[in-house]
Amino acid sequence: MSMPCIFITGAAAGIGAETARLFAQNGWFVGLFDIDETGLHKLQQELGQHVCMTGQLNVADEAQWQKALTAFFSKTGRLDVLLNNAGILASGKCTEIPLKRLHQLIDVNVKGVLNGCYLAYPYLKQTANARIINLCSASALYGQPSLAVYSATKFAVRGLTEALELEWAGDGIRVMDVLPLFVQTSMVTNMDANSIKNMGVSLTAIDVAQTIWQAANYQKRLAKVHWTVGFPTRGFYALSGAAPDFISRTINQFISRKG
């Protein structure tokens, strides 16, 4: 296949679907993978079967990853971008969320990303200028109350991204992450965290998709690993790298205060 190709997890709605639309509109072939087969079928009908393929994928399941990647590469012969977008969220006081649910966050948000990176590696290595883009979060800048385990999973994604970016540079594979604040998707509906009540939700899925597009097409020699979305996130990111810990703690304590 001559056109560039992107494999998207969590593609049936939200950020994944908007990213699929943007890339398809710009001449890419798009692999749409999700547990929501109905949503995938609807999106495929919208985009057209000639520019995309679909497949059911629970990212926590290694065998499903193997099947999906094999089918995708058999059709395309290349894997230019893997977008590890699938993720879930649970909010509220940590001890008031069932432990089983918190384990699910780790299975999807951490193991799901690890599965994708590990199992896609042979296909990425066969594609010139290939890259992985992991959906991270501003919650990976400082641990967030009411989002403790979600925040921890995003710290893990950030650390994995940084390590693999260095480890796989010699293989010609770029590894990046995208760090938005709260985004207007179903994930934040009825979210129980004071930070979202105090800061609101200004970013859209399209905003994040446009940043993913920039990361996918970045060609400068200087590595750019972390891609922030929106001015507030850029500010938090700058502070996290320059300010003493007590300042970062104070800022996060302030934005997560009760109204």
CA 193-203-208 angle, 5° bins:
115
Q: How far apart are CA 171 and CA 165, in angstroms?
A: 10
Q: What is the DSSP letter of 249?
A: H
* Strands annotated E in 65-130: 81-84
What tokens does 157 get? Answer: 């994604």
Q: Is 237 a catalytic residue?
A: no
- Phi first, then psi: give them for residue 185, nearest 5 degrees: -135, 175
Which of 197, 259, 206, 207 is CA-nearest to residue 233? 207
Torsion angle, CA of 153/157/162/166, rounded to 10 degrees? 130
Of these residues, 123, 150, 218, 237, which one is catalytic? 150
Catalytic site positions: 150
